Amino acid sequence: MGTTVFERQRPPASVVEHSLAQSVHSVFWRDDLPRTLMPDRPALVGTHRADLVIVGGGYTGLWTALLASERHPGAKIAVIEAQRVGWAASGRNGGFCEASLTHGHENGMARWPDDMPLLERLGMANLDAIQASEAQYGMDFQFERTGQLAPAVEPHEVDWLKEWAAEGAEGVRYLDQAEAQASVHSPTYLAAVWEKDACGIVHPARMAAELARVCEERGVEIFERSHVTGLDTSGPGVAVATGDGRVIASHAVLATNVFPSLLKRNRLMTVPVYDYVLMTEPLTAEQLASIGWQDRQGIGDLANQFHYYRLSRDNRILFGGYDAIYHYGRRVDPAYEHRPETWQKLASHFFTTFPQLHGVRFTHRWAGAIDTSTQFTAFFGTAREGRVAYAAGFTGLGVGSTRFAGEVMLDLLDGVSNERTELEMVRRRPLPFPPEPAAAIGINATRWSLDRADHNRGKRNLLLKTLDALGLGFDS
């Protein structure tokens, strides 16, 4: 079994130790929010009535609320959040806002080939709408239409890039080794593909906070620190209850994503997978010049266990990914966010990627749970005689696709038949994950196999080939 570049070119242990010594276990994006974007909203107390109640104050719930306020002017809309707006994945992700609704072209072609031209058109229109929303609503979530760079760091990955570029998709440019290293000065790069238009970068917590602000300006009520404990459709509407209050509405949207669904039918549809991130101090002008990166693309490499990294507005580097950790029992637990061995591994891989940055420190380290589905992308549906709509399973692409999900759920609640609701991805549910202990055994065996493939020129073993044939998967 071979080694990867991150094992062949490890930095000195002292460099890694120095880089992490003064980091704090805290989410940079939320620490970076101005206080004016973090109002202390009330908890839900007593009985309230609404036309639409939304459970979840992350991107999915907030986009749905905003879009619903446009579709139905004057409608009474309530959002209930168990913690604070943008507290979970929406406030702590990498900030890659992608056009893809299918977790990439290859995954989409393997599952919905007939729909892919439409899915790609809808995905690009969705990304355009997100970009336009800053000016449309007077928001500032630091959107930059940078595109995304996919570098090869192992020889077998170069052929993958050449095949990708040969498909001739608009805006996709192949870079040979000299061109890739001229763009971003990493000695690990052997080639790259630059998708120029299909991705932007954003400030994740600002995006959630700005969506919430605009929703409230449009009359949406947002309740925080209100954990929903029940969903009752025995009456004429939908009653959503917390410990101290409830909202009775005509319709409900469930936007809880990684957290256990209020619908039993969806309890096995996703698993929570923990992802880990580091953020550097701001780079000096000299440090930034040493790595190039003048086009500020988001970057994600090609391994099964991949890294993603991007620049912030003040030229910090966010560096995350690689390890994707599943814990037995599908639990979401803050204790799982503390994993020193993963942060050390990420720091080591960072300095392999950018050895010229030896001496740079990380100021923040954090983690969060991703809601993963077996098809790598969101699924949709309705329940309780069409009074409840849901979407979940975004598998790391929710920054962009949650807005599309809001449109789909509102279509479903309104009984609309259109090009979105006729998509096979919308009409059919993916296969569920098995219950425990099969889930843990299968997921961890798959992770081991993906790691072995990365160490064996990308060759997939029998388990991975079987999962591919069955349309099942686990994304790192």
SS3 readout for 7-41: HHCCCCHHHHHHHHCCCEECCHHHHCCCHHHCCCC
DSSP-derived 3-state class of residue 98: strand
CB 224 within 8 A of CB 83: yes
Question: What parts of the chain have a pLDDT lower than 50?
Answer: 476
Distance in angstroms (rounded) separating the CA atoms of residues 350 and 278: 9
pLDDT of residue 473: 58
Whole-model pTM: value is 0.96
At residue 319, the pLDDT reads: 98
Residue 467 confidence (pLDDT): 78
Backbone angles phi, psi at 138, to 5 degrees: 70, 35
- What pLDDT is stored for residue 96 in this prediction? 98
Q: Comparing C-alpha atoms, which of 49, 47, 44, 45 is closest to residue 236?
A: 49
Specify the DSSP element, H or E, that contains 46.
Answer: strand 46-55
What pLDDT score was predicted for residue 465?
83
Q: How far is the CA of 254 from the CAs of 38, 235, 248, in angstroms?
A: 23, 18, 14
- Dump the DSSP string for 301-316: --SSS-EEEEE-TTS-
Amino acid at 150: A
pLDDT digits (tens, 9 = 90+) for 176-191: 999 999 999 999 999 9
Q: Where are the beta strands (DSSP E) in 99-196?
A: 148-152, 172-175, 191-195
CA distance 378 to 132: 23
Give the pLDDT confidence score for residue 476 in this predicted structure. 47
Q: What is the predicted pLDDT for the residue at 155?
A: 95
